[in-house]
Amino acid sequence: MAAKEVSSGVFEITERGGKQLATKNLVHGMSVYGEKLIEIEGCEYRIWNPKRSKLAAMVIKKFNIPIKRDSKVLYLGAASGTSVSHVSDIVSDGIVYAVEFSQRTMRDLIGLCDERPNIVPILADANRPQSYAHIVEEVDVIFQDVAQPNQSEIAAVNAKQFLKKDGHLLLSIKARSIDTAANPKKVFKDEVRKLENDFDVGFEVLDSRELMPFHEDHLGVMARVRN
């Protein structure tokens, strides 16, 4: 067994010929959602399934993930924290602001926050960054997975308020939540064009790839604010 770091804090574990993604477990012995724990050379890793996480899929798709050990991350659409827990592993010296607006999933997310030192849960609507601007500081990375029709607008208003000048936006665009009928390729093109032109923060799209075969009709986008 061997662990190779493929992105800051993200490892590729080779085990009996198979390769799996994993992060170093920040809270020893705790599995968050039933994922497997593996011990290699005194280090505990949590297996990270790309089918369950857009971010993990983006790692496998060779995005140059800008999340570092000491990054501050604003995570929009945290859900019950499946992916957030791995981001929390990655930013062991940083902090994750986890925004989720469904009370039901927030319940699970709080359970996770209780176990981990570096997640700040925020029950709020990502459409209204002004409702958490008194809590969240400037961040290095905004990760967004909200599956809403106005995804790019949500990204823009949040980047405007919270993203550092040289910070990055990571975005998962779900074609079907924007237009159920249209061809996903066209939806993706429209969304990228919107990100680049439609808002008062203009984004420069650095990279965009579909997250197939892990997530059907999802586009991963990495962008930064054009200065």
Q: Which residues bind to ligand SAM, rule: CB under 6 A?
A: 53-54, 77, 79, 82-83, 99-102, 105, 125-127, 145-148
Q: Which residue from 226, 191, 218, 227 is spatially nearest to 77, judged by alpha carbons?
A: 218
Token pair recorded at residue 178: 């924007």
Query: DSSP assignment, residue 202?
Result: P
**x/- track of binding to other proteins for residues 129-158 (CB under 8 A):** -x--xxx-xx-------xxxxx--------
Contact present, 38 and 45 (Cβ < 8 Å): yes
Distant-in-sequence, close-in-space partners of 132: CB < 8 Å, separation ≥ 6: 97, 99, 122, 124
Beta strands in the chain, from DSSP E residues, in sequence order: 2-7, 10-15, 18-24, 37-40, 43-47, 72-76, 95-100, 119-123, 139-144, 163-174, 203-210, 218-225
Q: From the CB of 42, what's the least distance to ligand SAM, in Å?
A: 28
Q: Is 59 in the site for other proteins (CB under 8 A)?
A: no
Q: How far is CA 50 from the centre of its chain?
A: 12
Q: Residue 145 binds which entry of ligand SAM, other proteins, none, with Cβ cut-offs from 5 to 8 Å by kind?
A: ligand SAM
Q: Is 180 in the site for other proteins (CB under 8 A)?
A: yes
User: Which residue number, 95 or 146, has a Cβ lying nearer to ligand SAM?
Assistant: 146
Q: Residue 211 binds which entry of other proteins, ligand SAM, none, with Cβ cut-offs from 5 to 8 Å by kind?
A: none
User: Which residue number, 82 or 152, has a Cβ lying nearer to ligand SAM?
Assistant: 82
Q: Is 120 in the site for other proteins (CB under 8 A)?
A: yes
Per CB under 8 A, the list member of 121, 167, 184, 220 interacting with other proteins is: 121
Contact present, 78 and 103 (Cβ < 8 Å): no
Q: Residue 133 binds which entry of ligand SAM, other proteins, none, with Cβ cut-offs from 5 to 8 Å by kind?
A: other proteins
Binding residues for other proteins, how many (CB under 8 A)? 36
Q: From the CB of 41, what's the least distance to ligand SAM, in Å?
A: 29
Task: Report the distance separating Cα 127 and Cα 120, nearest Å.
Answer: 18
Backbone angles phi, psi at 10, to 5 degrees: -115, 130
The position carrying tokens 């140059």 is: 64
Residue closest to ligand SAM when measured from CB atoms: 77
Q: Is 186 in the site for other proteins (CB under 8 A)?
A: no
Q: From the CB of 56, what's the least distance to ligand SAM, in Å?
A: 8
Q: From the CB of 1, what's the least distance to ligand SAM, in Å?
A: 26
Contact present, 170 and 143 (Cβ < 8 Å): yes
Task: Report the distance separating Cα 52 and Cα 155, nearest Å.
Answer: 22
Q: From the CB of 8, what's the least distance to other proteins, in Å?
A: 19
